[in-house]
Amino acid sequence: MNWFTRVLTSSIGRKVLMALTGLFLSLFLVVHLIGNLQLLAGDEGAAFNAYAAFMTTTPIVKVASYLLYATFLLHIVQSILLTMHNRSARPVGYRSAGSSQGVSSTSRNMGILGTIILVFLIIHLRNFWYEMHWGEITTDAAGNKDLYKVVSEAFAQWWYVALYIVSMVGVGFHLWHGFASSFQTLGLNHAKYTPFIKSLGYGFAILIPLGFALIPIIMFVQSGN
Amino acid sequence: MAEETRKYTLEIWRQKNANDKGGFKTYPIDDVSPDMSFLEMIDLLNDRLARTGEEPVTFDHDCREGICGACSMYINGHPHGPHQGVTTCQLHMRSFPNNAKIVVEPWRAQAFPVVKDLMVDRAAFDRIIQAGGYVSVNTGSARDANETPISKEIADEAFNAAACIGCGACVAACKNASAMLFVAAKVSQLAILPQGQAERKARAEKMVAQMDAEGFGACTNTGACSAECPKEIGQEHIARLNREFLGASLSSKNVGDFKLIKQ
Amino acid sequence: MNRELKSHIPEGAIAEKWDNHKFNIRLVNPANKRKYNIIVVGTGLAGASAAASFAELGYNVKAFTFHDSPRRAHSIAAQGGINAAKNYQNDGDSIFRLFYDTVKGGDYRSREANVYRLAQVSVSIIDQCVAQGVPFAREYGGLLDNRSFGGALVSRTFYAKGQTGQQLLLGAYSALSRQVATGKVKMYPRTEMLDVVLIDGKARGIITRNLITGAVEAHDAHAVVLATGGYSNVFYLSTNAMACNATAAWRAHRHGAYFANPCFTQIHPTCIPVSGDHQSKLTLMSESLRNDGRVWVPRNPADKNKKPSEIAEKDRFYYLEEKYPTFGNLVPRDVASRNAKYVCDEGLGVGKTGKAVYLDFSDAIKREGRKYVEDKYGNLFDMYQRITDDNPYETPMRIYPAPHYTMGGLWVDYNLMTTIEGLYAIGEANFSDHGANRLGASALMQGLADGYFVIPYTIGNYLAAEPYKVEDTSHPAFSEAIDRVKERMNRLINIKGNTVPDDFHRKLGRIMWDHCGMSRTGDGLKQAREQVRQLREEFWKDVKVVGTADGLNTELEKASRIADFLELGELMIVDALDREESCGGHFREEHQTPEGEALRNDEDFAYVAAWEYQGENKDFILHKEDLAFENVKLTQRSYK
């Protein structure tokens, strides 16, 4: 086997891919959130729509977005491969399974959390991303596709908001373990810095999903439904 | 000697041999002294079974001082039972309330096939060590022991990793049956000592290759291994293994495959 | 069979013997080493180090262990440390002093030349182990730390917390693993040796039983090395691991290997006392605890049920410090053990059984702080607390002596060869270095000395004269031996009596502990011999071994080992009876000084008693190897 493939298909190599893609996706969350916050600008979506147009038409962003799709895909495919591998490592399970002290339930359920996020992602992409790219969307005053309208219509429905919130809770838990865990996987563990990374991870896991969740809540309230 | 004795209901995994399907069997046991170790309680059960002509429960055990790493029982959901930093042989019945139900299972992992009852085959660990868990120094070729000073901090850290008893509780505890903590303990010990430098890269690469070939799962950083490790070996060693492996993989000149140790 | 005891001690001054010998012995051409096969039975410190070193030299090695892995050998449980005459502490240590201390500590019943060699190679052991990555304790400056140990006035003990044996064994295990990977060593785990095969008087192989499948198999070689440990488990309750046994050594003995000084057993002074009938083994607390712990009992028997903290300082009897002001709590093991027995026999013992003394750390904690004690003994304290449910930081530990090590073993010459040609015994399995009492931290030293630095040389002397091609397993001697072993297994299974093996073991242990334990009397020993013979007879009529021989059967394993203990136990008694003196761990009540110390009889007993086997229920024949002391003056040991 080629050394590169050998390293990347080793158990640690796969984990490293999970960590690197996970961190990249975390970075994406930050960018995405900043963009989304423009929904709350109070300008009937002008800024948000301009931003959406920029994000879908600028060549460099396009390249970045393909990288992002690839990252998502890699993260998902690796997780499936790893889960299958890990399942096969214990063909006969225990009758009495206890939880070990200090082991978070999020860390034990990353796959389930990831699946929740994946389901959300599909709905989310279908509703917004697909619409933005290929859907029939009216244009706003500036001539940009009026994605704001699509979003505000979605967020006027309570069940959609609820789905969004539940999913963000899922993202939060996923990050709760995933953020610091990726540093551990990359071998970045140090008596001085690891506590800081862990706190950062917990902060990240709370603030980012909270930010995402607040948008639909506010827009729902504003919609007056 | 405590006067009171206790009663328990044991549910123990019985399996005649590697090919047998196996299943749980229930054994009530009384007259158990709280001062008994868990294994002495099993001894008592076995003594009674042998007297009635039933085959005793087979289990690995030897030193009964918590250091040989032979004993390996998964008790009520935990390798080596409910306490931290303890092997099964040092677990005492005073830790179990009277009339408790106690489920005893063997370590479960693809790489640790059951031999009989609660005894599993942990030869995979030996093969991982054979793959590179050593410093290649022939007898007689060593320099004076004090020629290379090693800071106390490094020596202590190496000791903490080297304290691994190879019991396999890490694998048993891990939801993925991963052997990372075991491998990390050895790689870590030798990676930080000056004596281990010459083979540092190859060691990390070879031991991980062997670990993967044995069919252990991958680490998902849950930390269950460290939580259940009777020697309380920490997660920082796994981070070091990751670091060592990545660094070695990217910088060593090993382009081909590694020769694996055969069963 | 009458074999002359030729110790083959080299000529020359004591300090030159080993060098002379290394120069004079035959060498095997490096290219020819691969034409020789060596069997190593047992892969603890001695066996693993020997097997690895043989393979490094180029020999083909087959290594056997009844464990699932060499890393489980009971060497792993040694806590305190390993001695070496490095004199890193500049406190006056030297090879000669280590040699002197060891001979004196052994109460002048060991062979000077062997002990001197041991002290010589001790320095190389530390170098070797450090090079393997053994994480010995270090000082802040990065250099190796040392501590003092019972029976010595210098600090020459290297240690790795309370897990020195573990770290050394894992070092040897790693060296062995490396050779397994190269294919020079073929490892046979979960395989127990049940017989040795002799062809024309030479050891040519062994018969083993695969403990998983029950298969009985033959293995041939040019030489066989036994590194199978000691026989303390003859006492049933000892600090040895559950599976430690004397079968390999005893099988060799039955074929003509003399058994030397079997009555020299060491009772370790600092073990956790027995708590009840269920007890399966005893746990040792490292002797290093005596560096900072003070041993005492209440002066007044009426105080023994009081809490130790309620007993005033003046009512405490620090019996070791009072009787032995120079060595105090650091007297050798035999002295410490015997004195614990005395005070308990006088009714001063504490604890529920009255068979315990206090080991008190309150002074050390007051003087140096809890942190100091925690750093040095933390893991031992934790272990104590887990087992007893008492916190030794707050209340004194309770300790009592327990069988721990056997100085006796197969008789070997200077080359570590037994009286059977081509059959070697190393480590605790032989008798050579510790005389009648072993000093602390010397077992690890001897095991590794034999394995790393002695036998790799001396075996060449034998092999060089052997033809490359020798009889293999097709020789009828092998098939006959296989039949014998199978027959014995079937016999055990087919008795189908009423008494489980452990019952016999417990009974044997009781007899041995009562009559051939810490102190012995002629009458008691005579009585015990009869009892053991009776018990043996009963065993072969009434043992109940459930299960079959053709698979994993731990009851059968036990029964087979106990059968051998039942024969060895008798020999221990015979030897103890014959040795009409007290020395080291062998204390005959008839022979003591007015102060109650061991009274040696150098005139009549300065010899190694090497016993020859004659046949079942026949008397053993005594052969004497006279011990000459040219470099150490025989004195009454005094630790006052």
B208 to A11: CB separation less than 8 angstroms, yes or no? yes
Residue A199 in contact with partner chain B when CB distance is under 8 A: no
Give catalytic status of residue C333 as yes or no.
yes
Q: Which tokens is C528 given?
A: 């015990």
C160 to B149: CB separation less than 8 angstroms, yes or no? no
Q: What are phi and psi of A205, to 5 degrees?
A: -65, -25
- What is the three-class DSSP state of C202? strand
B67 to C281: CB separation less than 8 angstroms, yes or no? no
B109 to A89: CB separation less than 8 angstroms, yes or no? yes
On whether both C586 and C504 belong to a single domain, the answer is yes
Which chains does B contact via 3+ CB–CB distances below 8 A? A, C
Q: Could you tell me whether strands C316-317 and C423-425 are parallel, antiparallel, or unpaired per DSSP bridges?
A: unpaired
Of the residues C370, C403, C436, which one is the last residue of a structural domain? C403
On whether both C496 and C591 belong to a single domain, the answer is yes
**Domain assignment present for C352:** yes
DSSP string, C442-501: -HHHHHHIIIIIIHHHHHHHHHTTS-SS---TTSHHHHHHHHHHHHHHHHHHHH--SB-H
Measured in whole angstroms, how far is the alpha carbon of residue C181 from the centre of its chain? 30
In this model, does residue B1 exceed pLDDT 50? no
On whether both C376 and C499 belong to a single domain, the answer is no
On whether both C272 and C396 belong to a single domain, the answer is yes
What is the number of other CB atoms lying within 10 angstroms of the CB of residue C389?
12
Mean pLDDT of chain A: 94
In terms of Cα–Cα distance, which of B68, B260, B138, A125 is closest to C124? Answer: B138
On whether both C598 and C495 belong to a single domain, the answer is yes
Determine C/B contact with 3+ CB pairs under 8 A as the test.
yes
pLDDT class for B2, splitting at 50, 70, 90?
A: very low
On whether both C300 and C389 belong to a single domain, the answer is yes
Gap from B55 CA to chain A (nearest CA, Å)? 23
Helices (H), A89-130: 105-108, 110-124
pLDDT of the residue at C1: 46
A7 to B249: CB separation less than 8 angstroms, yes or no? yes
pLDDT of the residue at A68: 96
Cα dist from B179 to A15, A48, B73, whole Å: 14, 49, 17
Q: Which residues contact C43 (CB under 8 A, 6 or more apart)?
A: C51, C63, C64, C65, C67, C70, C73, C173, C176, C187, C227
Which chains does A contact via 3+ CB–CB distances below 8 A? B
* Closest-CA residue of chain B to A81: B218
Residue ranges of domains in chain B: 6-115, 123-261
Burial class (CB in 10 A: 0-12, 13-18, 19+), B17: middle
Gap from B212 CA to chain A (nearest CA, Å)? 7
Measured in whole angstroms, how far is the alpha carbon of residue A167 from the centre of its chain? 10
Which chains does C contact via 3+ CB–CB distances below 8 A? B
Measured CA angle at A36 (ends A30, A40), to 5 deg: 130
Gap from A204 CA to chain B (nearest CA, Å)? 18
Lowest mean pLDDT, pick from B60-74, B102-116, B139-153, C267-281: C267-281
pLDDT of the residue at C378: 85
On whether both C482 and C393 belong to a single domain, the answer is no
pLDDT of the residue at C161: 87
- What is the three-class DSSP state of C608? strand
Residue C277's CATH number: 3.90.700.10
Q: Which tokens is C256 given?
A: 């003509």
Q: What is the largest CA-CA distance in chain B?
A: 67
Q: What is the ipTM of this complex?
A: 0.98
Helices and strands (H, E) in chain B, number of each type: 8, 7
Q: Point out the catalytic residue in the list C71, C316, C333, C398.
A: C333
* Closest-CA residue of chain C to B68: C72
Q: In which residue are the tokens 């300082």 written? A: C313
Give the residues of chain C that fall short of pLDDT 70: 1-4, 151
On whether both C371 and C277 belong to a single domain, the answer is yes
Beta bridge pairs of residue C294: C360
Buried b vs exposed e over C459-468: b needs ≥16 C-beta within 10 Å? bbbbbeebee
C140 to B152: CB separation less than 8 angstroms, yes or no? yes
B133 to C452: CB separation less than 8 angstroms, yes or no? no
Rounded-to-integer distance, Cα A38 and Cα A50, Å: 10
**Domain assignment present for C338:** yes
Mutation target vs B (from C71, C236, C505, C562; most B CBs, 10 A cutoff)? C71
On whether both C493 and C389 belong to a single domain, the answer is no
Residue C550's CATH number: 1.20.58.100
What is the fold of B123-261?
Fumarate Reductase Iron-sulfur Protein; Chain B, domain 2 (1.10.1060)
What percent of chain A shows pLDDT beyond 90? 88
Rounded-to-integer distance, Cα C573 and Cα C472, Å: 38
Of the residues C403, C420, C447, which one is the last residue of a structural domain? C403
Q: Could you tell me whether strands C185-188 and C60-64 are parallel, antiparallel, or unpaired per DSSP bridges?
A: parallel
Rounded-to-integer distance, Cα C567 and Cα B166, Å: 35
On whether both C398 and C484 belong to a single domain, the answer is no
Cβ contacts of B209 on chain A, cutoff 8 Å: 6, 10
Rounded-to-integer distance, Cα C84 and Cα C69, Å: 28
A11 to B178: CB separation less than 8 angstroms, yes or no? yes
Mutation target vs B (from A15, A100, A183; most B CBs, 10 A cutoff)? A100
Cα dist from C96 to B99, C87, C171, C438, whole Å: 62, 11, 27, 17
Q: Which residues contact B96 (CB under 8 A, 6 or more apart)?
A: B6, B8, B102
Cα dist from C471 to B106, C221, C475, whole Å: 44, 9, 6
**Domain assignment present for C201:** no
Q: What is the mean pLDDT of residues A147-155?
A: 94
In terms of Cα–Cα distance, which of A216, B59, A180, B219 is closest to C554? Answer: B59
B56 to C71: CB separation less than 8 angstroms, yes or no? no
What percent of chain B shows pLDDT beyond 90? 97
Residue A35 in contact with partner chain B when CB distance is under 8 A: no
Measured CA angle at C173 (ends C150, C216), to 5 deg: 110
Rounded-to-integer distance, Cα C335 and Cα C268, Å: 10
On whether both C274 and C385 belong to a single domain, the answer is yes
Half-sphere exposure of C435 (CA within 13 A, CB side): 33
Q: In which residue are the tokens 């040796």 written? A: C193
**Domain assignment present for C232:** no
**Domain assignment present for C203:** no
Residue range(s) defining the domain that contains residue C392: 268-403
pLDDT class for A225, splitting at 50, 70, 90?
A: low
Are the C-beta atoms of residues C634 and C104 closer than 8 Å to each other? no
Residue A92 in contact with partner chain B when CB distance is under 8 A: yes
Domain count across chain C: 2
> Which residues 2-61 of B have a C-beta within 8 angstroms of A?
11, 24
Instruction: Output the CA torsion C320→C322→C324→C329 (10° steps).
Output: 30
pLDDT of the residue at B3: 60
Cβ contacts of A13 on chain B, cutoff 8 Å: 249
- What is the three-class DSSP state of C346? coil
Rounded-to-integer distance, Cα A210 and Cα B7, Å: 52
Tell me the whole-structure pTM to 2 decimals.
0.96
pLDDT of the residue at C152: 82
DSSP string, A195-207: HHHHHHHHHHHHH
DSSP string, C95-159: HHHHHHHHHHHTTT-S-HHHHHHHHHHHHHHHHHHHHHT----B-TTSSBP-EE-TT-SSEEEE-
Rounded-to-integer distance, Cα C430 and Cα C452, Å: 16
In terms of Cα–Cα distance, which of C518, C516, C401, C410 is closest to C150? Answer: C401
Q: What is the mean pLDDT of residues A212-222?
A: 95
Amino acid identity for residue B50 in this structure: A
C132 to B1: CB separation less than 8 angstroms, yes or no? no
Residue B245 in contact with partner chain A when CB distance is under 8 A: yes
Determine A/B contact with 3+ CB pairs under 8 A as the test.
yes
Gap from B57 CA to chain C (nearest CA, Å)? 9
B55 to C547: CB separation less than 8 angstroms, yes or no? yes
CATH classification (class only), B6-115: alpha beta
Check residue A183 and give left, alpha or beta (phi > 0: left; psi -120 to 50: alpha).
alpha
Gap from B71 CA to chain C (nearest CA, Å)? 10
**Residue among C53, C133, C174 minimizing CB distance to B139:** C53
Q: In which residue are the tokens 């506010």 written? A: A218
> Which residues 327-356 of C have a C-beta within 8 angstroms of B?
352-353
> Which residues 455-514 of C have a C-beta within 8 angstroms of B?
456, 500, 502
Rounded-to-integer distance, Cα C268 and Cα A77, Å: 60
Check residue A128 and give left, alpha or beta (phi > 0: left; psi -120 to 50: alpha).
alpha
Are the C-beta atoms of residues C343 and C297 closer than 8 Å to each other? yes
Q: Could you tell me whether strands C409-410 and C259-260 are parallel, antiparallel, or unpaired per DSSP bridges?
A: antiparallel
What is the number of other CB atoms lying within 10 angstroms of the CB of residue B20?
12
Strand order in the sheet with C216-220: C191-199, C202-210, C216-220
**Domain assignment present for C575:** yes
Rounded-to-integer distance, Cα C272 and Cα C400, Å: 6
